[in-house]
Amino acid sequence: MNIATHPFDALMDITLRPAAVFVRGEGSYLWDDTGKRYLDFIQGWAVNCLGHSPPAIADALAAQSKLLLTPSPAFYNGPSLELAKALTDRSCFDQVFFANSGAEANEGAIKLARKYGALHKRGAYEIISFAGGFHGRTLATMSASGKKAFEPLFEPKVAGFPKAQLNDLASVKRLINDSTIAVMLEPIQGEAGVWPATDQFLRELRELTKAHGLLLIVDEIQTGMGRTGKLFHYEHADIEPDIMTLGKGIGGGVPLAALLATSAASCFEHGDQGGTFNGNPLMCAAGLAVLREVGAPDFLKSVAATGLYLESELQRLSARHGLGEVRGRGLLQALDLRHPIAASIVAQAFADGVLLNAPQPDALRFMPALNVRREEIAGMIDALDAILGKLGAARRVA
């Protein structure tokens, strides 16, 4: 692979990528153009909930592509109506706006909260978000994010996103004032290294926001669509938020996202929100195929059971190598490495044909397909065990 066979330079260089070109995927495996096979525990960043190129999605896309691609967002289409109805039937929300990416869904959530503030709270516009949070890469969602690396970028930021500390209710209370309209959080901070909000904190946040007439926005772009063993993470805490965003898994590999709101919070008027591809039937057909499979009770039970297996295997590995805690829920887990060795582990795993992610220098994140097999988890653990063994031996020698 080189510049002659692949014109790498024609793409903007927005991140460091290994010099491999992927050509095919099936289930938990990816193949590059040399025929090398990789066991995938990244799955497009927690996107491919049914694994690579699942027949259910491929068939739905093929069938829909022969019927209708895009009539125009100014007209109704069947799959978007059907998917919106299915999502509202399965959640505490009443209405849906479809988007093409998580950031766009969150941008919509921010606009919806500001609209609500304009209509019902004398123009209140501040949205309390959290240190360490990640909500996307548009200007407003970068401003809502609490990612340190974003702080110096693209100044001036969009105003109105004071930051509280996760699992610290007093830090939220301190930020509430007459300009506050909402609190926005990821139930598990994924990009920060898989840091869960406790169920207790989520319940207290719900009570606090209700008491102050504030909207509670959950960003379930990573935790939603079965990732944690329930269809939506907020169900674990037994709360009903006002607004939720979904992305990643909702399309199972195609660009689809959604903004959901209760009827009280759903206050867009004509002209406030829209977009050329929003709710196009092709992507919504994929979303319906995903929801049909992931939403089945047996499927969600199996995600919870497989998640416990992954967690216990990671705990055994951690104990064997003197590493730190395992944290997360369902099939979103992190292993604390106690040392900044994550990048070298990821690089060695890649060479060994295993795809892992390091959200932080001292943590690995695991986000396999929701239908990952136990033997695939065992294969990943064996590979990681061998790498950690070699690294440990190297450190002892040094």
45 contacts ligand PLP (rule: CB under 6 A): yes
Which residue's structure tokens are 């590979």? Answer: 383
Say if CB 90 and CB 230 are below 8 A apart. Answer: no
Q: Which of 28, 64, 80, 106 binds ligand PLP (CB under 6 A)?
A: 106
Cα–Cα distances in Å, from 173 out to 11, 145, 170, 198, 309?
45, 19, 5, 17, 38
**Assigned token pair, 51:** 């694994």
Position 365 contacts ligand PLP (CB under 6 A): no
Q: Does 336 bind ligand PLP (CB under 6 A)?
A: no
- In eight-state DSSP terms, residue 318 is H
- Backbone φ, ψ for residue 90 (5° rounding): -95, 0
| Positions 237 through 266 that interact with ligand PLP (CB under 6 A) | 247
- Token output for 146: 């609490």
Exposed (0-12), middle (13-18) or buried (19+): which is 89, by Cβ within 10 Å?
exposed
| Contact status: 222 vs ligand PLP (CB under 6 A) | yes
The piece of 62-70, 132-140, 167-175, 309-317 that touches ligand PLP (CB under 6 A) is 132-140
Token code pair at residue 54: 């699942």
**Closest distance to ligand PLP from the beta carbon of 136 (Å):** 4
Q: How far is the CB of 110 from ligand PLP (least distance, A)?
A: 12
CB nearer ligand PLP, residue 219 or residue 376:
219
> How many residues bind to ligand PLP according to rule CB under 6 A?
15
Q: How far is the CB of 317 from ligand PLP (least distance, A)?
A: 25
DSSP string, 73-94: TTS--HHHHHHHHHHHHTSS--
Shorter beta-carbon distance to ligand PLP: residue 221 or 342: 221
Q: Which stretch binds ligand PLP (CB under 6 A): 16-24, 89-97, 101-109, 384-392?
A: 101-109
φ, ψ at 69 (rounded to 5°): -90, -55
Select the span of 82-90, 185-193, 206-214, 342-350 touching ligand PLP (CB under 6 A): 185-193
Read off the tokens for 374: 């136990």
311 binds ligand PLP (CB under 6 A): no
What's the closest the beta carbon of residue 83 comes to ligand PLP, in angstroms? 17
Q: Which residue is nearest to ligand PLP, using beta carbons? A: 102
| Tokens coding 269 | 């008027």
Query: Per CB under 6 A, does 219 bind ligand PLP?
Result: yes
Sequence-separated (6 or more) residues with CB below 8 Å from residue 213:
120, 121
Give residues in contact with ligand PLP (CB under 6 A): 45, 101-103, 106, 134-136, 186, 190-191, 219, 221-222, 247
